[in-house]
Chains A and B, each alone.
Chain A
């Protein structure tokens, strides 16, 4: 064999060996878990406390939009919460394929009014979204929320698989979980729950409404629902909680169906403290806030006060 040929042949083999070995080294991974969840940019959407305004303000009006306006003005008006250029995400409860009268979803008029307020305050974009339990297309249609919110100028986004991010919520129980990106990639988060009975948590209002930002098999959280609700509330902190108590569901919650289970209360309240908001809301169901375990746990983790009167409460005349 000639020297030239020997060099060529061994050279070829050596090159292939080098590439093979190199690729093995490049892709070699000593970590046995290659899973790196995202950490949300800023899940804390709260604004600084202001002693001039109450923590919870409640208004009763026959017209839901007027009730919202009155309660909102009492906590400082929309300009306290939304500034020019903000991207705002509104999270109503659009969990179920139910009509407005059945009281399972947030009143569409309230959602639309809130959208208009935010746009008036100069919001760059208002997104309305929720991860419904039933088929989201049906829920957003039958509840009237898609129609009302779009007419008011919001961008209504139904959840699709591609829009979920794996987020480390860092709770005691809730750790890495898929979250719809519209609730993370935003400047302001407005939680708009409705007051309903729930057989495990006793009531479902604002804290429970935040479940709707989670994807995955979130119903597995029911095993330790109180702790997981407290974890979620400690991490995702909305700018404002606007509670719809125009209709209150006393039985058959959270899905309902029968008009006999719903009473008409014509009430709306706004709160900067999510725990205080829920504590006030629980009274519509004949509960005190300290009888609701997830509110007590949430207070312990320092995100709010169960005693809403002590936190600062007004009822608008």
Chain B
């Protein structure tokens, strides 16, 4: 096989893994067959989070922060162990975020800075590439104290989150808006065509219902900035920021596969540098850096003299004009220690403030089956799969509701969607066990088992129609799914403004029965701020955040 064929194989591999990743996220949605036999316990037909389970960074960080390797995360060894022998093949051949960065970097540009000599110079190894190692070690520090921050910058989490909660919803809004606009123009062929395109999109990529996400602006901006940086430096994210790339770079310390340069054959054309993705100095005259190389093989394929060859056990002897390659990561020991300490220090900083348990927002309602907050923050990688799969659009990325520590972790916003009593999909897709898998019985309970509770509803008597406005309404009671209903009604005769008697039914909430699903808040007709609302107190996962004495565990 010629080197050009191998390079084409790499390109095919990048496309294939990107398509698989995208397809898995598309399938992270409730679209089971409507066979009545499936109705008892609704499950997704595919292991949609499997791509995230192959992520060594998620595996290492959850291991450090929770001291367990949850379920499918063992798959990450399939990536990590070959990396030890080969180097960062994952970055060049597999990583869908890396591929996206690669493609965005390579789209033709008229800017002078991206051509010829400028491009060659920008592809030489630079000191800014060390940043990723310091980020990685800061994440390790935070993880050691039980705070998983790597998920913010983990490329697989980043891409899953950005596609699921940003790209697809925005695409949906755009296409629905365009369709409505074209319908408004009233020209039948245009409407027919637009409808056909829209139907095709709904049949392929768009979910059954338009999803709305609370933290979408921050997620979208972050993603777009990451993509835009590729226009300044080729694969800037992969070279300078990506903590997964850093981790794989560190693990390629003892790689037995690498680049061998033949200085006699080289005529200094620098085509290798012009095509280099990782900025790892493939040219003769500088030190090749194993830890930076993505194994894209562009250098070997573009070398007209055949002076560059990737091979097992490459010759490592150096000469004056061809310095020996280095397997070492270019990060100063001092700064590594400093980043680690910085990461460690982040945790007390996060937790001495408002957000962690002392003054947590009452509206921080976590998904059903979520672990206690300290273990939850030790595991959530903010991939957004739970938000994507939630059939009611109930789960949303936080901005600051869970403190700085929990940016983009899931929160239930009942006003937009409530927690479907018989649904357990969020736990099914969580790759790290931050949301545990619940059976239907765990979720709804039975005579011997209490149901899983995520909060408690409260009536806002100042806004409630029967309580405050002498107007009948029972919608919260009607929607309450528990048996008997946690929302109950008491008959009352009240006086309206004219002093006439009006019979109303006043809603009350029984905290012993309420599971915090939020259906009442969702359905309440007081449109802007609901007259019945959900807070987290009473959640099964916390022994302290309780009202009822019999539930408080010390």
Contacts and interface: CB of A to CB of B under 8 A. Distances in A.
Interface of A: 97, 99, 108, 133-135, 137-138, 140-142, 144, 146-148, 150, 158, 160-162, 198-200, 217, 219-220, 222-225, 251-252, 254-258, 261
A198 B473 CA distance: 12
B525 A220 contact: yes
Contacts of B480: 255
A307 B39 CA distance: 41
A150 B30 CA distance: 20
B485 interface: yes
Nearest to A261: B483
Given A223-B465, A256-B483, A162 B179 contact: yes
Nearest to B180: A162
Interface stretch (B17-25, B264-272, B415-423): B415-423
Contacts of A135: 30, 391-392, 420
A223 B472 contact: yes
Given A160-B208, A223-B473, A99 B483 contact: no
A99 B391 CA distance: 18
B321 interface: no
Contacts of B472: 200, 222-225
B482 A161 contact: no
Given A162-B179, A217-B525, A222-B525, A258 B42 contact: no
B210 interface: yes
Nearest to A151: B36
B475 interface: yes
Nearest to B390: A135
Contacts of A138: 30, 42, 391, 420, 422-423
A192 B165 CA distance: 39
Contacts of B525: 217, 219-220, 222-223
A199 B480 CA distance: 12
Contacts of A108: 36
Nearest to B484: A252
Interface in B393-446: 420-423
B224 to A, nearest CB: 27
Given A199-B474, A223-B473, A255-B479, A161 B210 contact: yes
A52 to B, nearest CB: 39
B521 to A, nearest CB: 12
Nearest to B475: A219
Nearest to B524: A219
Interface residues on B, range: 35 or more
Given A138-B42, A161-B210, A258-B483, A219 B391 contact: no
Nearest to A136: B208
A200 to B, nearest CB: 4
B422 A97 contact: yes
Contacts of A225: 472
Interface string B511-530: 00000000000011101000
A222 B475 contact: yes
A261 B30 CA distance: 30
Nearest to B202: A160
A283 to B, nearest CB: 22
9 contacts: A137-B208, A141-B34, A141-B38, A161-B176, A200-B505, A222-B525, A225-B472, A257-B482, A257-B483
A160 to B, nearest CB: 7
A217 B477 contact: no
B256 interface: no
B483 A252 contact: yes
A220 B524 CA distance: 8
B451 to A, nearest CB: 11
Nearest to B476: A219
Given A161-B176, A219-B525, A199 B42 contact: no
Given A158-B208, A252-B484, A142 B39 contact: yes
A222 B483 contact: no
A162 B208 contact: no
Contacts of B31: 137
Contacts of B475: 219, 222
B481 A141 contact: no
Contacts of B208: 137, 158, 160
Contacts of A198: 478
B489 A99 contact: no
B471 interface: yes
Contact of B478 (A146, A220, A255): A255
Given A219-B525, A223-B473, 19 more contacts: A97-B420, A97-B421, A99-B39, A134-B420, A135-B392, A137-B208, A138-B423, A141-B32, A147-B35, A198-B478, A199-B478, A199-B505, A200-B472, A217-B527, A219-B523, A220-B527, A223-B465, A224-B472, A252-B484
Interface in B6-49: 30-32, 34-36, 38-39, 42
Q: Which of B32, B391, B392, B524 lies at the interface centre, i.e. has the most chain A CB atoms within 10 A of its CB? A: B391
A150 B34 contact: yes
Nearest to B474: A200
A141 B39 contact: yes
A223 B471 contact: yes
Q: Which of B31, B32, B477 lies at the interface centre, i.e. has the most chain A CB atoms within 10 A of its CB? A: B477
Contacts of A199: 474, 477-478, 489, 505
B42 A141 contact: yes
B216 to A, nearest CB: 19
Nearest to B39: A142
Interface in B291-340: none
A198 B421 CA distance: 20
